[in-house]
Structure 1
Amino acid sequence: MTKNPIVKGKLVCVALNDSEQFNAMQAEFSEAPYKSAPTQPVLYFKPHNTWSTDGAEVEWAVTEGQAAQSMVVGASLAVVFGQECCRVSQEEALNYVDGYTLVHDFSLPEKSYYRPDIKGKCLDTSAPVGAAVVPASDVQDPQALTVVTQINGETVNETPVSQMVRGVAELISTISYIMTLQPGDVIAIGFPGQRAPVKQGDKVSSAIAGTASTGLCELNNQLGQ
């Protein structure tokens, strides 16, 4: 597996943070097994075996000894921490950020968000993280950024950070009360609700729009055959 130079500790991902997806699921949330919409961020981890980096090939999923029939991908703005962050307010949250990069989350299609999807989310090499970080000093407002993803050169998602249910500062504050965040920890703040389907051999590229350092913020991967 390709080691990533950015992630040193935890890779925390936020699910159901796309407001379009969240709003569209309100009727579903009122039914079993949910019974109500989540009132706190829905979090999941991408463990060490999933970590990869820019330019690396992503393994096609194998389940029960056979190649998976389908996979999907989403891209997220990623917050990289430069110092220990524990129980901080929204107002001071961004002071702990070293910079921003990108995360690709390749997974099996999700059918439910009620329980963490270990099988679909913990696939080897399924979480490439950008190999470079845009310094926080270069980003005046992370809420003004947009993550753009292309598959084989065709744009499949444009996700403004402002479209997220919970913004960057709010997420940092909330998560810092759940767990201490250490230097080198990364939070993927939210993926598009409509993950894009991918095929073996597809090339997936994402970039951050809205900063002069966009060129440092690209993430390119190819699915294995």
Structure 2
Amino acid sequence: MRLVTFALPDDTAGAGDRLGAQVGDRVLDLVALADRAGVDLPADLFSLVQAGPAALAAARELITGHTAGGADRAAHRLDAVTLRAPLRPGKIIGVGLNYVEHVEESSRSLDTDKGLPPRPVLFGKPATAVTGPGAPILHNADLTTQLDWECELAVVIGRTAFRVSEEEAYDHVFGYSIVNDISARDQRRSGQWFFSKGQDSYAPFGPAVVTADDIPDPMDLDLSLRVNGVTKQKSNTRHMLFPIAALIADISSGMTLEPGDVIATGSPSGVGAGMVPPEFLSPGDTVEATVEHIGTLSNPVVDAR
């Protein structure tokens, strides 16, 4: 299933965000379908993730029943709605230096270690950094002249995970999405990344969460990123230094992963800081991050001052 959060054209404040499912070029209003069928279904995606397998099965049945029944007022054209960030995570765990070629370019351009990290390099992004498809990435020239991009596969946790093994890890995954790990390279403070990566709008997220059963192999997904139509990043998740199962096992060794948490699994090479000469985002740019089977997350860069 492709699960989304969406708003109708007359909703400008976000108060009417709705839980939906994308089926082809339509978005089904799952809460409207549930109300009509007399089914108890959470009203938002975060709550649906937390509700567990029974709620997910109920949503799937509603989609199947509607598809068989044809169009009605619970179905909207995709181009007639506004997609929001799918959910606001409880926490976002970022992974740094998780592609070998990115380790090399970072050591050259960002003064990180040349050697491959022996364990995952982890950092946090606050939920306030999350923004949705089409929403602006804020460029504040008072804070940065080195605003950079990073296309990453996002893992959405579906079951509480604490001290789980790599063999058990995928049992705790709800689905997958895209995070663009926006970074102000000149706001790293004594080697700490939180402010560099945690400012408002620095976590574009979406356009959908695709449930785990609809991703054939999350460790074999093409991913790419374009700036103003020009490809900057192009790789595949099979090149991760620490695969998804290893990340979940490592993080959960000392930190509880809860339903609705998101792991941003790291960026391949091709970030702006690694270009010769370096390239960074400016107001007027458009950034498009694409992951196979999930879609494209597009965001404009705007002047925040």
TM over 0.5: yes
Output one character per residue of 1:17-60: Cα deviation in whole Å (capped at 9) or x when no partner: 111133567899xxx99697532111111112211111111111
Larger deviation, residues 108-117 vs 50-59: 108-117
Q: Distance in 1 between matches of 2:269 and 2:254?
A: 24
Q: Distance in 1 between matches of 2:195 and 2:140?
A: 10
Q: Distance in 2 between matches of 1:68 and 1:51?
A: 19
The two structures, once aligned, show a CA RMSD in angstroms of 2.8
Q: How does 1:214-225 map to 2 (within 5 A)?
A: 214=294, 217-225=295-303
The answer on whether the counterparts of 2:187 and 2:196 sit within 8 Å (CA) in structure 1 is no
Query: 1:106: Cα distance to partner?
Result: 1.4
Note if 1:9 corresponds to 2:87.
Answer: no
Unaligned segments of structure 1, at least 5 residues: none
Q: How does 1:15-54 map to 2 (within 5 A)?
A: 15-23=96-104, 38-54=117-133
Larger deviation, residues 45-54 vs 109-118: 109-118
Q: How does 1:123-202 map to 2 (within 5 A)?
A: 123-196=199-272, 197-202=280-285
Q: 1:138 to 1:72 in 2, by over 3 A?
A: same
Query: 1:90: Cα distance to partner?
Result: 0.8
Larger deviation, residues 51-60 vs 34-43: 34-43
Which residue of the partner structure matches residue 26 of structure 2?
A: none
Which protein, 1 or 2, shows the higher relative CO under an 8 Å CA cutoff with sep ≥ 6? 1
The answer on whether the counterparts of 2:232 and 2:270 sit within 8 Å (CA) in structure 1 is no
Q: Relative to total residues, which structure has the larger helix share, 1 or 2?
A: 2
Relative to the length of structure 1, the TM-score reads: 0.84
Q: Distance in 1 between matches of 2:195 and 2:258?
A: 27
Q: 1:113 to 1:68 in 2, by over 3 A?
A: closer
Q: 1:131 to 1:79 in 2, by over 3 A?
A: same
Q: Where has structure 1 moved over 4 Å in runs of 4 or more?
A: 23-28, 32-37, 110-114
Query: 1:178 aligns to what SS in structure 2?
Result: coil
Q: 1:195 to 1:35 in 2, by over 3 A?
A: closer
Query: 1:113: Cα distance to partner?
Result: 10
Q: Distance in 2 between matches of 1:7 and 1:98?
A: 15
Which residue of the partner structure matches residue 87 of structure 1?
A: 163
Query: 1:125 aligns to what SS in structure 2?
Result: coil
Q: 1:218 to 1:170 in 2, by over 3 A?
A: same
Which residue of the partner structure matches residue 19 of structure 2?
A: none
Query: 1:69: Cα distance to partner?
Result: 2.0
Q: Distance in 2 between matches of 1:109 and 1:194?
A: 14
Q: 1:117 to 1:56 in 2, by over 3 A?
A: same
Note if 1:56 corresponds to 2:135.
Answer: yes
Relative to the length of structure 2, the TM-score reads: 0.63
Unaligned segments of structure 2, at least 5 residues: 1-12, 15-83, 273-279
Query: 1:135: Cα distance to partner?
Result: 1.1
Query: 1:70: Cα distance to partner?
Result: 2.6
Aligned residues: 214
Q: Which has the larger radius of gyration?
A: 2
The answer on whether the counterparts of 1:6 and 1:131 sit within 8 Å (CA) in structure 2 is no
